[in-house]
Amino acid sequence: MFERVREDIQSVFHRDPAARNAFEVLTCYPGLHAVWLHRLANLLWTSGWKWLARLVSNFGRWMTGIEIHPGAKIGRRFFIDHGMGIVIGETAEIGDDVTLYQGVTLGGTSWNKGKRHPTLEDGVVVGAGAKVLGPFTVGAGAKIGSNAVVTKEVPPGATVVGIPGRIIVKDDPELQAKRQAMAEKIGFDAYGVTQDMPDPVARAIGQLLDHLQAVDGRLEGMCQALTELGSDYSAKELPALRDEDFAGVKAEEDKSAQ
Ligand SMILES: CC(C)(COP(=O)(O)OP(=O)(O)OC[C@H]1O[C@@H](n2cnc3c(N)ncnc32)[C@H](O)[C@@H]1OP(=O)(O)O)[C@@H](O)C(=O)NCCC(=O)NCCS
């Protein structure tokens, strides 16, 4: 038991730069008190002392402003920072090393019995005020932005923000540079919209440009090989891309950017 308490305190030091010493953490972190009371409540709940379990859980809520149903399953090194206003439902399951900030709800969207609350895998971080609603899984290491409302499965490692929650994609800088070069080459920037914008047409054009870029590279290599073999095939001119052909598209882009 003391080992668990020690690792709980360590997890505060790892995740809150404001924590100064063990005594302060022991006495001034309501998130820890809520977790310890939950362990007792959960033990009572699984031993069949349901009412007593609810009473302990309710006492924890009075003391800390954090409501954890005694039936919720919580892993190790669970860290609740600040905590006020957190609600964790009966069938929620939380892995190891998960962090929640104040105002988070792990709730249900139906009144049916059975699994109706989310499962957070190891290492998930849920930002202040976020609502995660429904019996789906948030994959290991995923981050939920503050104030997001998430009602669908989140893949491991993803970051979700906004209402409704959407995954933000961070492209690797090398791919972005290549795309920019291709866009400049053909005189049309299909990426005038941000990458995380859910515009299927822009995304499809983006994919085509990536493909074009790869074909271009391969053709250049083939032409070089042909030249080395003495062929003049690659000397033939390609038809030029004319700016005027893209004028309409650019005008539309400028209009939507305003
Ligand atoms: C979602 C989060 C994890 C993303 O962190 P990150 O991976 O470092 O991402 P960035 O800060 O680079 O932001 C990426 C994009 O998402 C946007 N974004 C970040 N957090 C957002 C949020 N909560 N809601 C909406 N958009 C958000 C950013 O503005 C940025 O948009 P841009 O690419 O158009 O400029 C983080 O912003 C967050 O909300 N953490 C919770 C922290 C918290 O609750 N702290 C409480 C302490 S008391």
Q: How far is the CA of 93 from the centre of ligand 1 (A)?
A: 24
Please tell me if the CB atom of residue 159 comes closer than 6 angstroms to any atom of ligand 1: yes
Pocket test for ligand 1, best of 105, 146, 150, 196 (most atoms within 8 A of CB): 146
1: which 2 tokens? Answer: 């038991």
Could you tell me which of 101, 103, 133, 99 has the C-alpha nearest to residue 119? 133
pLDDT tier for residue 200 given thresholds of 50, 70 and 90: low
Going by C-beta distance under 8 Å and a sequence separation of 6 or more, which residues neighbour residue 241? 186, 187
* Among protein residues, the one whose CA lies closest to atom 4 of ligand 1: 145
Judge whether residue 194 has pLDDT over 70. no
Query: Can you give the pLDDT at residue 170?
Result: 66
pLDDT digits (tens, 9 = 90+) for 56-79: 999 999 999 999 999 999 999 999
* Among protein residues, the one whose CA lies closest to atom 18 of ligand 1: 161
Q: How far is the CA of 38 from the centre of ligand 1 (A)?
A: 30
Q: Are the CB atoms for 136 and 121 separated by under 8 Å?
A: no
Judge whether residue 25 has pLDDT over 60. yes
pLDDT digits (tens, 9 = 90+) for 236-252: 677 776 666 666 655 66
Please tell me if the CB atom of residue 99 comes closer than 6 angstroms to any atom of ligand 1: no
Q: Which residue stretches of 97-246 are H helix?
A: 173-186, 200-228
